[in-house]
Amino acid sequence: MTGLEIRIVERALQFKKPAGTSRGVLTEKPSFYVIARDLEEDGRIGIGECSLIPGLSPESELRARIELKKLAASGTLDPKAMSLQYPAVRFAAEMALIDLLNEGDRTLFPGPFTEGRLVPINGLIWMGEPAEMVAQAESLLERGFNTLKLKVGALDFEKELECLQAIRSMAPASEVTLRLDANGGLDDEDLSVTLGKLDRLATFDIHSMEQPIRPGQWKKMQKVCIGSPIPIALDEELIGVHDTDLRRNLLHIIKPHFIILKPSLIGGLVEANHWIDLAAEVEAGWWATSALESNIGLNAIAQWAADAIADDPHPMPQGLGTGNLFTNNLPSPLVVADGNLRMDTPKAQANGKLQTWDLSSILG
């Protein structure tokens, strides 16, 4: 889309409390907003978010800033013409474009997401000491979550097993699904060591294990998928794989049970759809998860996910419950209740489309 006035607003998101991740502890994260005003359509505004996770996002904060300045100077939004080497920047442009085409109605992004349409999500247990993680699990269960996700591979393995035992004691497999994410933390030169740990973890009736070994080891990951008693999901493995043939080869060689889609790390929603189509060739399932976006990015992914799972009678819980992490998030009509993400429709329609999001802090 051309004939646009595009500006970039930089806004560091401040965590309410330090967030332990596989890339260290974060107290804030860099984010940028792409604000595109259509000069030919009554000043219509579209907003996109460029969300970065330091140490994981392919583009650095500096590179993102440079590419976003180029985007603003171009006066056009054409995500397909943008490099997949900078996936968060590309997703921000795609998001702003969809928003413009929907005339700024963020309850239609890109499909109807009303109070009657729920997106099931998992409850995320942040990394920490075992007692703290168990307390988080208890809190999530009290809030109605029936799918929990936690990290493994970063602490002493025996302590992690004790943590899982404590969680399972209050969350039986008949009632609660457990997902694990190793971020490559179970990698060992001796494959039997990795598989041995997966065997022990499997005793807790685990739904899936994300990225047990470091990415880029296709043949080794293939052996893990064959030998693991826990279904394997690829996450970081997808980052930086842009070519269609390369994507297809990766999936056909590894044959994962699931793939995890982070639009900010793979280049947006069109690219996510492409991965889903390719994954279907090897009968791999999928779910989406955030890259710790603010409510602008979270809403965009949630709208897309709501559309993608609309016809599924038993939709996979998504990894999208991150809207309450930041002290300076943008107020929005997104609500998490009973393990589901939904749009608070009356609030979204209260005073017109744009006002419900209280965008004054970024629109200026």
323: CATH: 3.20.20.120
**Residue 90's CATH number:** 3.30.390.10
Do residues 88 and 132 both lie within one domain?
A: no
Do residues 21 and 71 both lie within one domain?
A: yes
Q: Is residue 360 part of a domain?
A: no
Do residues 240 and 188 both lie within one domain?
A: yes
Q: Is residue 145 part of a domain?
A: yes
Full domain range(s) for residue 9: 4-104
Q: Is residue 354 part of a domain?
A: no
Catalytic residue among 29, 149, 151, 197: 151
Catalytic residue among 29, 149, 197, 262: 262
Do residues 317 and 179 both lie within one domain?
A: yes
Active site residue 69: no
Do residues 190 and 322 both lie within one domain?
A: yes
Do residues 185 and 273 both lie within one domain?
A: yes
Active site residue 347: no
Rounded Cα distance between 148 and 142, Å, is 12
Q: Is residue 111 part of a domain?
A: no
Q: Is residue 89 within a helix (H) or strand (E), and if so which, with residue range?
A: helix 87-101
Judge whether 28 and 13 are in contact, CB under 8 Å.
yes
Do residues 234 and 269 both lie within one domain?
A: yes
Do residues 134 and 278 both lie within one domain?
A: yes
pLDDT in tens, the chain (364 residues): 667 899 999 999 999 887 766 666 788 899 999 999 988 867 788 999 999 998 899 999 999 999 999 999 999 999 999 999 999 999 999 999 998 888 655 554 444 444 457 899 999 998 888 899 999 999 999 999 999 999 998 889 999 999 999 999 999 999 999 999 999 999 999 999 999 999 999 999 999 999 999 999 999 999 999 999 999 999 999 999 999 999 999 999 999 999 999 999 999 999 999 999 999 999 999 999 999 999 999 989 998 998 899 888 889 999 997 667 899 988 887 888 889 988 775 544 444 443 356 677 787 6
Do residues 143 and 260 both lie within one domain?
A: yes
Do residues 281 and 304 both lie within one domain?
A: yes
Least Cα distance to 31 among 72, 6, 74, 61 occurs for 61
The domain total for the chain is 2
Do residues 141 and 198 both lie within one domain?
A: yes
Q: Report the predicted TM-score, pTM, of the whole model to 2 decimal places.
A: 0.91
Do residues 48 and 142 both lie within one domain?
A: no
Rounded Cα distance between 322 and 26, Å, is 14
- How many CA atoms, within 13 angstroms, populate the side-chain half-sphere of residue 153? 24
